[in-house]
Amino acid sequence: MNKKSETISSFRKKGNIMKKAGVICISAFLSTSVFAQITLDVKQQTIKQTLRTIEKATDYRFFYSNQLPDLNKTVSFEVNNQSIDATMNKLLNGTGLFYEKREDNQIYLAAKNARGEEKIIKISGTILDNNNEPIIGANVSIKGTTTGTITDIDGNFSLDVSTGMTLLVSYIGYATKEVPVGNQSVYKIIMTEDTQNLDEVVVVGYGTMKKSTVTGAISTMKADVIESIPVSNLSNALAGRLAGVNVTQSTGTPGISSKIRIRASGSWNSQDPIFVIDGVVRSKAAFDALDQSEVNEISMLKDAASTAIYGSRGGDGVVLVTTKQGRKGKPTLQYSGSVTIEHPTKILEFNDAVTHMNLTNFVFSDPSSSNHFSEDEYAYFAKTGAYSWYDEAYETPINTRHAVNVTGGNDRVDYYIGGAFFYQKGFLPNVDYKKYNLRANINAKITKDLTASLSLSNTYGDRHRFNFTYDYESDDLNNLWGKLLNMNWNIPPYIDGKPVYAGWIAHPIERMRNGGYWKRSNQMVDALISLEYKIPFVEGLSVKGIFSKNFNNQYTKSFDKKHTLYGFEIEGGNNHIMSNRPDGSVILSGDPDRENLYNAFQRNNDYQLNVQVNYNRTFGEHLVDALLVYEQAEGFMNKFDGRRNDFPIIVKDQWFATSGNSVDSTVDGSESESARVSYVGRINYSYANKYMLTASVRRDGSMFFAPGKRFGWFPAVSAGWDIAKEDFFMNKISNVQQLKLRASYGLAGQDQLIVDGVNVNQWRWLETYTNGSSMYFGDALQKGIAYSGIVNPLVTWEKSQSINVGVDTRFLENFSVSAEYWNKYTYDILGDRIISLPSSFGATMPPENYGKARAQGFDLEIGYNGLAGDFSWYVKGNLGYGVSKVKLKDFAENGQWVDNPNGKYTDYLKGYVAKDIIRTEEDLQKLRDQYGNGTDFGNYRIHGRVPQLGSIDYVDISGPEGKPDGTIDGYDKDVIANHKSNPVNYGFRVGGEWKGLALELFFQGAAG
């Protein structure tokens, strides 16, 4: 395809008139080209060369396919003051070509058919994306020619062609499509997005860049991929999709998202990456609250050259999100929905009743033992089987999601308005999650140079679950649902619909169904307004202001009440059979100890203000893109909660029903605030998309630290070289479209250490006090305060120096590979030093920035895109590896080697090395012979106990003297795993699309 010209108004003028034997003389006697008379003497020229000669000297323009026959046929003829018709007849005489004149001096050439004639026809059609939405401004041309047009506001086009030609359809971000022209006159062409397009624009910090000029480590996911993943939140959608991004799901509880880690952290205080939504730094909760339908793109900034622009918060990576915007065109309504049924892939396998009884009778072999199953009991349960409390509680989770949006606009205003509803059901009673999303993004061109944008969003999430005292509000609900797996198998959960008292503090299923509840509602309201002004007298210069206001209101309510249980008569030789005859007892559960009602309200109120100056201009093949940013942000949090115990008259989940005595009530509350100010600068330079250089610096200030320690510099630099664009490379290797080498260096930081939702790294430099114990002064009890401990005025952020080298290549048009190695050195890691102090020191030292660690690894992404007519397919794979080792961290004086973290991985696991299970008397005798005198075990103990049948025996590694001491205790710990978390993450997907019908297979996992 000739990419220099793709519209019908563009004419081919390339090439020079080749000098041949003879002289060519052309004259135009009349000023009106329609009646131009041509004088021409052609000697041994091709038809194509002659057409160019006529174009050069007249206003006629020829349109044809380079695949036409006879274009390279050599001709010789002469015309003298002849018309264009007479000239063309002589030129094409004896060839398989004919011509047809059109308006505006256009002449079309085509091949004759088998009857020696052909006719040019007018075709029309519509260009659509994979959502059947029109593509505005797509290029439609005839292959091998400069003949072409662009689609209108409805994606429509029309063009004069002849049968046998091929249409080329192209648009930025989509794979070019070839469509053979047949006898039909109307075409519907569906385009497929091209994720490997080198001109693709990717989101970076405070702006965008062409993918072909990016020199940092950035991975992206587009809207079409995100929307197609049936998950409950965006965190889960990232699993296995991007190299170097580790997504860990610790629980399947509805409304609970996964943990995201970008590469391996260089600190033992590993934190979440920061999340930036439409240019505003937000929380991970705000990220997970987004619905897939409102997201346009997610970018992962992985190396310091990319993250340093976020300064003291970029040390653990950055997640950038852009939401969908409106676009020019008539209103387009889109709906997407899904219904998902979940089922656990694996649960514990339960023994059957006979196996249970055999094992029990083996241990309690004396028939008189109350634990022994008598013959009548054995026969009874062999017939009825074991009762499963898990099966009784299990409910099939069915999840639903519905999303609808409308987009449209004109030359002045465009809009995106969307809403979504998501419902997720747990597999246990009274566990679910609901989420509602609303968003409106509007852009208005006030004047030619001034654009205003407004974004409004409202997200409401509602988590609901059963209450249980000993779950302690944990996300995984493990304490109560785990009890279902080991409840007495010989006791039915219900008899005649009544919950059975099984001797425990609660009935697990009834506790879930009728023991109260815990629910939390979150409402996030976000408003963002921006103004951008393009300076009219300086090309490429613009000024942009952004103001964002964000509210997060969180309301928590828990209702904890006892549930009623019923007793039934016991029968059987050893009282193991529960009959269906009530014994008259009605029991209130032991949990909760005291019935209570709890309410908590928390409000977060944040804002961010940005003023940004951008300069983007091309000088020939030189591109300069620069920005300056001033950023200011503040956040405020208020929290109040209260609890009342006991319900004197009626047990109801309302405040009036609780006890009014002050001794039955507790209240609490807290407030916090934060503030930052930052100055950012960056410049990108590229020459001919071949040589690339990016440099940035950020000056960050945080109120978390003492005056004089609040500001720091975070510089970064990166460079790239696309060898495939060098002449010496292209002349020898034509099948490689890109071979970009890149390298980067940067310094980023981490000023937050989040523990239970609180940044424990703030205010370490201030002396603080807390409520202390009360004491008597005279006869009166007085409240007291307590000193919080020694302060550290030098506390600051952790710092990470990172280098990254990589290569991006695309070859044979369809294949792509991206590989990189990275190394990150982190220092000034915050840590406690109390364990290295003598026991005589009577205070707790504050944490200090002294630690050091180094992380390294590699990322690999490969891909293939194929296209054949209406069918497109792809194969994608990614692999990430990352580990981190401690270089400096305190450990106790005279501590064991296994407790010394230095030189070990930051997530290493220590424990005991098992040798075997003591299964027989012979195994016990071997231990008596080895450690005792043959009749006893001597001093040999396993964690203080004499070895017994069924005990696990461990390797005796060491003792107080540094050598094996004949007993298993704390001195025998060893490194039993280098990693608690998997250092290797991978993903693989293969899929295809045919006429709007798509199928994808996706596999992802972790190892190491």
* Beta strands at 516-534 and 541-560: parallel, antiparallel or unpaired: antiparallel
Contact 561, 645 (CB under 8 A): no
Instruction: Output the average pLDDT for the chain.
Output: 86
What are phi and psi for residue 627, nearest 5 degrees? -150, 150
DSSP for 658-697, written as a single string: S---GGGEEEEEEEEEEEEEEEEEEEEEEETTTEEEEEEE
Whether the predicted pLDDT of 924 surpasses 70: yes
**CB-based burial, 698-707: b 16+ in 10 Å, e otherwise:** bebbbebbbe
Confidence of residue 83 (pLDDT cuts 50, 70, 90): confident
DSSP for 946-958, written as a single string: ---TTPEEE----
**Average pLDDT of the segment spanning 23-44:** 53
3-state helix/strand/coil string of 704-766: CCCCCCCEEEEEEEEEEEEHHHCHHHHCCCCCEEEEEEEEEEEEEEECCCEECCEECCCCCCC
- Strand (E) or helix (H) holding 509: helix 508-514
**Distance (Å, whole) CA 278 – CA 407:** 18
- Strand (E) or helix (H) holding 511: helix 508-514
Nearest to 54 by CA among 7, 9, 101: 101
One-letter amino acid of 891: F
**Distance (Å, whole) CA 515 – CA 656:** 19
**What is the per-residue pLDDT for 197?**
52
* Beta strands at 450-465 and 516-534: parallel, antiparallel or unpaired: antiparallel
Whether the predicted pLDDT of 13 surpasses 90: no
771 vs 987, more confident = 987
Whether the predicted pLDDT of 143 surpasses 60: yes
Whether the predicted pLDDT of 180 surpasses 90: no
Contact 767, 788 (CB under 8 A): yes
**Distance (Å, whole) CA 860 – CA 871:** 27
523-527, 829-833, 1001-1005: segment of lowest average pLDDT: 829-833
**Average pLDDT of the segment spanning 656-669:** 93
Whether the predicted pLDDT of 770 surpasses 50: yes
What are phi and psi for residue 479, nearest 5 degrees? -65, -40
pLDDT in tens, 231-244: 878 888 888 889 99
Q: Percent of the chain, pLDDT > 90?
A: 50
**Distance (Å, whole) CA 26 – CA 17:** 13
871 vs 713, more confident = 713
Q: Give CA 251 to chain center in angstroms.
A: 17
**Average pLDDT of the segment spanning 316-340:** 90
**What is the per-residue pLDDT for 381?**
95
Whether the predicted pLDDT of 245 surpasses 70: yes
110-119, 944-953, 983-992: segment of lowest average pLDDT: 110-119
Q: How far is CA 385 from CA 306, 377, 545, 650, 857, in A?
A: 62, 11, 71, 41, 53
Nearest to 96 by CA among 62, 115, 72, 69: 69
Confidence of residue 18 (pLDDT cuts 50, 70, 90): very low
**What is the per-residue pLDDT for 681?**
97
Confidence of residue 27 (pLDDT cuts 50, 70, 90): very low
One-letter amino acid of 628: L
pLDDT in tens, 492-516: 999 999 999 998 888 999 999 999 9
pTM above 0.85, yes or no: no
pLDDT in tens, 416-445: 999 999 999 999 999 999 999 999 999 999
Cβ partners under 8 Å of residue 632, min gap 6:
608, 609, 610, 676, 677, 678
**What is the per-residue pLDDT for 32?**
34
**Distance (Å, whole) CA 647 – CA 92:** 103
Whether the predicted pLDDT of 7 surpasses 50: no
pLDDT in tens, 893-916: 777 889 899 999 999 999 999 999
Compute the Cα dihedral for 701, 704, 707, 709 and give only its sign: negative
pLDDT in tens, 836-856: 566 666 667 788 889 999 999
- Strand (E) or helix (H) holding 377: helix 375-384
Nearest to 144 by CA among 192, 183, 111: 111
What are phi and psi for residue 11, nearest 5 degrees? -120, 145
Q: What angle do CA 460, 464, 466 make, to 5 degrees?
A: 170
**Distance (Å, whole) CA 681 – CA 114:** 67
**What is the per-residue pLDDT for 452?**
97
510-524, 761-775, 808-822, 988-1002: segment of lowest average pLDDT: 761-775
DSSP 8-state assignment for residue 500: B
